[in-house]
Structure 1
Amino acid sequence: MKRFYTIALSLLFITCTIQEEHKLVKLEGLVFGTTYHISYLASTKSSFQSEIDSLFALVNKSLSTYIPTSDISKINKGDSTVVVDPFFTEVFQKSKEIYKDTDGYFDPTIGMLVNAWGFGPEKQNNPLDSSKVEEMMAFVGLDKIQLIDNRIKKKDPRIYLDFNSIAKGYGVDVIARFLEGKQISNYLVEIGGEIRARGTNAKDQYWKVAIEKPNTDGSQSFETVISLKNQSMATSGNYRKFRISKEGKKYVHTVNPKTGFAKESNLLSASVISNSDCADVDAYATAFMAMGFEKARELVESQTKFKVFFMYLDVDGNIAEYAN
């Protein structure tokens, strides 16, 4: 019995030593036009800030439509000689898979219309009618683009790629993989509301995150709090990013790839949770917003790879919730 107590006390000492050695490191700043927050437990206080900044710069150089010299900007201007990097390749391949799985409701070639409706880097704000939308829809469809020998091949040079609906989530994955490469197994990485969490926090509990209510008045309040158990989460909603025309019409930033119009669906907010990469849930959250509640629920109930939390308008116009 004495030997058992000795072992128990030794284990307790080792456990306390490990907890004392692993300090909580927090980083925050601006990237991709939004904020980021990174928290992790490490045996040293090294922040890896310079390495993380370098990774952000590389992702931007590859995927940012807001940087004129990025690879994607050059491709959108018609440069067919660009040799894309592994960042671009992975995002393109993921986009192809999710485009197929969502029946085209996730489609990065909708960028031309995102710009036209005033939500892209070009900040256009011209009124669009059905004929103009139909004309631009001829250049929409990810099946019209291929990646061959690390170069993008378009059926028409005017096709415009926009990975903004998956790039934040992908940026989260890039940083998370970097931390894992540094043998850090307890972390939470968040960029603009897209999150990837592994392990536990400083209190040895799963990382907790909040889901916002769809407030349209600019205020911030929370609908629920959940624990992420080695999962990624992304939330998409049209209650903040929208504009009102001079005629009083409301246009939302999620453009429907099936119609080309920036009209609100009855789905107000879509939070997607999965064991997969954050890029995946980021893309699916966008697709669900374009689908509307009924189609989104149908797709959710046909699979088991992710959990969702939806807020939507019911037939009486009241806010309702759905979770699987």
Structure 2
Amino acid sequence: MNRLTVSKSIALTVGAICIVFAYNYNKSATYKISGPIYGTYWQLVSTEYISDPLKQSIEGELARIDLIASNYKESSELSKINAAPLGEEIDISSDMYSLLSYAEQLYQITDGLYDVTVGSLVIENGFGPANTANQNTIPVSKERFDLISNNRIIKNDNFQFDLSSIAKGYAVDSIAKLLINSNRNNFLIDIGGEIIVNGSKHGVPWVIGIQDPSSLQNQSIIEISRTGFLAVATSGEYRNTNINDAGEIISHTFNPINEESLLDKSYSVTVASEESSMRADAWATALNVLGPDRGIKLANSNSVSAMYLIEKDNIIMKSKYWNYSD
């Protein structure tokens, strides 16, 4: 064998090794993109390539929903509704209709303990944008609002909407639909802890960690393994707190009946949904307000997959529909 033949053989062998290495790498690789949004973060992990145009579409959709549901942007649809006069028909988008109609359904189911008219109450306690607060607003609405067909609303009280308990979930749903429509079927999308997984991670399940409510670290104590579509949302009072004028520690979630911050900060509640992240997001907040005993009963009567992690005695309470972890 002459030198030329040997050189060619070595080149072919090295080339084959490189091809095999590249194939194996791509077979196990994941593509990650992320950024800031809604005062928090978003991140996408996919086993399929995310092109620059697709990333731009994702960022565009996140920005579009921000201009619908943000109470921090004075130019958002939500801020304009909050500033609108009472008793007049206000044009709304189909997205806003979807958000408000589901929120009002949950208001009825929870006997008023899930309420998106608490915007002024949230702002007054230091958890919202004071610069967008309107004059002489009430903490919680009793007269509520009327949805007229699917594109108009009438406000019956001078309240302010706060959609922070449902809008991130809605955005996660929207990005998941965008990915699936783009033939990207294996991904994990996370917006500030509201998560959807779909498909698999190169043939193995995606793993979602549930935060320990007693820990200030990003430390999971329970993991959900899932192949296929699943939305997961967790609500709790263990991080987002303020000190009020009386020197008391208050949390970001309020009971709309007594208009007080939740006192019990010893638990978190996680909701899993095979329907949508919006549903999981809103239900997690609702069940957080209700607390474990009442929450489990309501979850059972409404086919909701819920799990409470209670710091005291390390108790775990699950609804009868929860089957996503050991």
**TM-score, normalised by the number of residues in structure 1:** 0.81
Give the gaps of 5 or more residues in structure 1: 1-16, 125-131
Separation in structure 1 between the aligned mates of residue 255 and residue 245 of structure 2, nearest angstrom: 22
In structure 2, give the amino acid aligned to 1:321.
I
Equivalent residue, structure 2, for 1:146: 146
In structure 2, give the amino acid aligned to 1:151.
R
| Alignment root-mean-square deviation, CA | 2.6
Separation in structure 2 between the aligned mates of residue 146 and residue 19 of structure 1, nearest angstrom: 55
SS at match of 2:271: strand
Separation in structure 1 between the aligned mates of residue 265 and residue 248 of structure 2, nearest angstrom: 16
* Distance change in 2, residues 1:29/1:73 (3 Å): same
Equivalent residue, structure 2, for 1:301: 300
In structure 1, give the amino acid aligned to 2:310.
Y
TM-fit CA distance, 1:63? 0.8
In structure 1, give the amino acid aligned to 2:77.
D
Find 2:66's aligned residue among 60, 71, 87: 60
CA contact (8 A) 1:270 1:285 kept: yes
Per-residue CA shift, 1:32-71, capped at 9, x if unaligned?
11011112233x4414111111111110111100001111
Q: Kindly, what percent of the aligned residue pairs are identical?
A: 28
Find 1:38's aligned residue among 37, 44, 54: 44
- Which has the higher Rg, Structure 1 or Structure 2? 2
Equivalent residue, structure 1, for 2:272: 273
Check if 1:322 corresponds to 2:314: no
Equivalent residue, structure 2, for 1:110: 118
Separation in structure 2 between the aligned mates of residue 73 and residue 51 of structure 1, nearest angstrom: 25
* Distance change in 2, residues 1:54/1:323 (3 Å): same
* Distance change in 2, residues 1:22/1:182 (3 Å): farther
CA contact (8 A) 2:30 2:46 kept: yes
SS at match of 1:164: coil
Equivalent residue, structure 2, for 1:284: 283
SS at match of 2:282: helix
Separation in structure 2 between the aligned mates of residue 238 and residue 211 of structure 1, nearest angstrom: 14
Per-residue CA shift, 1:215-242, capped at 9, x if unaligned?
36x3332211111342100001100001
Separation in structure 2 between the aligned mates of residue 61 and residue 301 of structure 1, nearest angstrom: 36
Equivalent residue, structure 1, for 2:310: 312
Equivalent residue, structure 1, for 2:92: 84
**Residue pairs, 1:148-167, within 5 angstroms:** 148=148, 150-156=151-157, 158-167=158-167
Equivalent residue, structure 2, for 1:221: 219
Separation in structure 1 between the aligned mates of residue 89 and residue 106 of structure 2, nearest angstrom: 26
TM-fit CA distance, 1:267? 5.6
In structure 2, give the amino acid aligned to 1:56.
L
In structure 2, give the amino acid aligned to 1:323.
K
In structure 2, give the amino acid aligned to 1:239.
Y
Separation in structure 2 between the aligned mates of residue 101 and residue 286 of structure 1, nearest angstrom: 13
Check if 1:51 corresponds to 2:57: yes
Give the gaps of 5 or more residues in structure 2: 1-22, 320-326
Equivalent residue, structure 2, for 1:178: 178
How many residues matched?
Answer: 289
In structure 2, give the amino acid aligned to 1:168.
K
Separation in structure 1 between the aligned mates of residue 278 and residue 106 of structure 2, nearest angstrom: 10
Residue range with higher mean Cα deviation, 18-27 or 295-304:
18-27
In structure 2, give the amino acid aligned to 1:92.
L
Per-residue CA shift, 1:274-295, capped at 9, x if unaligned?
1011011100000111111111
Separation in structure 1 between the aligned mates of residue 109 and residue 75 of structure 2, nearest angstrom: 32
**TM-score, normalised by the number of residues in structure 2:** 0.81
SS at match of 1:225: strand
Separation in structure 2 between the aligned mates of residue 81 and residue 302 of structure 1, nearest angstrom: 35
Separation in structure 1 between the aligned mates of residue 285 and residue 270 of structure 2, nearest angstrom: 10
CA contact (8 A) 2:173 2:276 kept: yes
SS at match of 1:311: strand
SS at match of 1:269: strand
In structure 1, give the amino acid aligned to 2:121.
L
CA contact (8 A) 2:236 2:265 kept: no
SS at match of 1:146: strand
